[in-house]
């Protein structure tokens, strides 16, 4: 199996990072993957996990398999897109149904909600790894991800899940640069955390709430916006019994929102949302 990238973009972000440094990190990553094969990889279709899966497939061939968790917090469009990309890469991916929503600790939506989600996924992956004799489980945390802000990192530690991107020193900028070199369609994709992240902590995560968010974001996407969130606003039973939405659009797209705002609000209202707010400061990371 060849270790060389399939496509090199001229003017890619890697030019600003130091090509030699990036190549050393990539070599470290590939060596690490060889040492841990056969490998089971948590795959979401996002920038990080797609790069990890692509390089693992290049390096290990059929000794790596991707696992994608299918739950109500994953939009159907995202699941389809992730499977499409995996198919283009020629990688074997298994869809596993996860039931974190049935866990009261998750459904109550505490600040460490992500811990219970990752614990559910890693539990399922452990079962598969043991049954099919995989040597290790990996996921796509990178070197920029601060563990104290990512409860999933604690779950990974407890379940002995490795983070090859992080351990090889690959930052988010490195990940995007390598994704460009490999010609991955996720190279410039915006971050897309799960739908539960749109629901404020302390507000219960339900299938209905997740459905509202997914429907709202599908509508906003139809208006051509690329990087945005539809934040769930719990219904005020004394005033408006329906849930509301706060729309946050990336600053570079705010100029389009100004002229489409009235039509967008009308479309969201027609879909069942109550009060609708437009965040004037836009999407903040």
Domain hosting 167: range is: 13-181
Asked if residue 6 is part of any domain, the answer here is no
Do 50 and 171 reside in the same domain of the chain? yes
The predicted model scores a pTM of 0.88
Count of domains for the chain? 2
Q: Which residues contact 245 (CB under 8 A, 6 or more apart)?
A: 212, 216, 230, 231, 232, 233, 268, 273, 275, 276, 277
Do 42 and 147 reside in the same domain of the chain? yes
Asked if residue 47 is part of any domain, the answer here is yes
Show the tokens assigned to 21: 């440094």
Show the tokens assigned to 207: 């299938």
Do 120 and 228 reside in the same domain of the chain? no
List, for residues 25-51, the tens digit of each pLDDT value: 999 999 999 999 999 999 999 999 999
List, for residues 221-254, the tens digit of each pLDDT value: 999 999 999 999 998 766 668 999 999 999 999 9
pLDDT band of 18, cuts 50, 70, 90 = low
List, for residues 173-194, the tens digit of each pLDDT value: 999 999 999 999 999 999 989 9
SS3 per-residue string spanning 195-236: HHHHCCCCCCCCHHHHHHHHHHHHHHHHCCCCCEEEEEECCE
Whether 134 has a pLDDT exceeding 90, the answer reads: yes
Q: Would you state the torsion angle of the CA atoms of residues 5, 9, 10, 15, taken in this order, to the nearest 10 degrees?
A: -70
């Amino acid at each position: 199996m060849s270790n060389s990238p399939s496509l090199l973009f001229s003017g890619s972000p890697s030019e600003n990072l130091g090509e030699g440094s990036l190549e050393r990190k990539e070599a470290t990553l590939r060596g690490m993957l060889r040492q841990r094969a056969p490998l089971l990889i948590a795959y979401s279709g996002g920038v990080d996990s797609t790069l990890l899966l692509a390089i693992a497939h290049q390096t290990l061939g059929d000794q790596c398999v991707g696992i994608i968790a299918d739950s109500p917090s994953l939009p159907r469009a995202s699941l389809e897109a992730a499977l499409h990309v995996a198919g283009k890469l020629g990688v074997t991916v298994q869809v596993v149904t996860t039931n974190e929503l049935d866990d009261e600790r998750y459904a109550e939506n505490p600040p460490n909600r992500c811990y219970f989600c990752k614990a559910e996924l890693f539990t399922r992956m452990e079962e598969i790894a043991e049954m099919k004799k995989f040597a290790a489980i990996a996921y796509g945390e990178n070197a920029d991800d601060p563990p104290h802000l990512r409860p999933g990192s604690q779950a990974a530690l407890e379940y002995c899940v490795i983070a090859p991107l992080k351990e090889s020193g690959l930052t988010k900028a490195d990940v995007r640069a390598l994704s460009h070199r490999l010609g991955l369609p996720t190279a410039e994709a915006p971050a897309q955390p799960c739908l539960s992240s749109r629901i404020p902590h302390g507000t219960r995560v339900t299938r209905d709430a997740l459905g509202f968010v997914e429907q709202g974001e599908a509508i906003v996407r139809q208006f051509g916006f690329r990087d945005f969130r539809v934040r769930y606003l719990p219904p005020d039973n004394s005033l408006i019994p329906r849930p509301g939405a706060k729309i946050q659009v990336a600053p570079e797209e705010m100029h389009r929102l100004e002229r489409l705002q009235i039509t967008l609000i009308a479309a969201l209202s027609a879909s069942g949302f109550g009060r609708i707010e437009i965040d004037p400061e836009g999407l903040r990371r």
